[in-house]
Amino acid sequence: MEKLKYQIEVNASAEKIWDVLWNEKSYSQWTHFFSPDSRMATDWQIGGKTYFTDSGKKNGMVSTIERIERPKLLIFKRLGEIWDGVEDVESNSVKAWNGALEGYYLEQKDHKTTLKIEEMLTRVSKR
């Protein structure tokens, strides 16, 4: 399992950063650096479904919320992929990496917040 870690200190409250990360309008702005037309749709339920897709909702990833404590942490667990509009949580290529975790942690001290992002990867899909 590979673990990737990122961290940045931001001159803003944890609430503000949470809103920028997960607000429907601002989500696609910060994710455009690695996925130009990325969208997120979620029911905000532990064990529910969260979709990370392109703007046409044809390709992307399906996850679930493993843990949520607003505005302190949000952990997603990867379940599968979406290709040509079809959700795949069963194929061997998906089973090779499903269960990987992606966590967002916010710690506020005074007027600054440290945002930590950790990805615990099993293997990356070869599509």
Mean pLDDT of 43-71: 94
Taking the C-alpha atoms of residue 12 and residue 67, their distance in angstroms, rounded to an integer, is 23
Taking the C-alpha atoms of residue 93 and residue 40, their distance in angstroms, rounded to an integer, is 23
> Which of 90-94, 111-115, 119-123 has the largest mean confidence?
111-115
**Which domains can be identified in the chain, with CATH numbers?**
2-121 (3.30.530.20)
pLDDT at 123: 52
Mean pLDDT of all residues belonging to the chain: 91
Give the start-end residues of each E strand in 29-89.
39-42, 50-53, 60-69, 73-83, 86-88
Tokens of 9: 């200190």
pLDDT at 81: 94
For residue range 85-94, list pLDDT tens digits in order: 999 999 998 8
The β-bridge partners of 115 are 8, 106
What is the reported pTM?
0.88
Phi, psi torsion values for 109, nearest 5 degrees: -135, 120
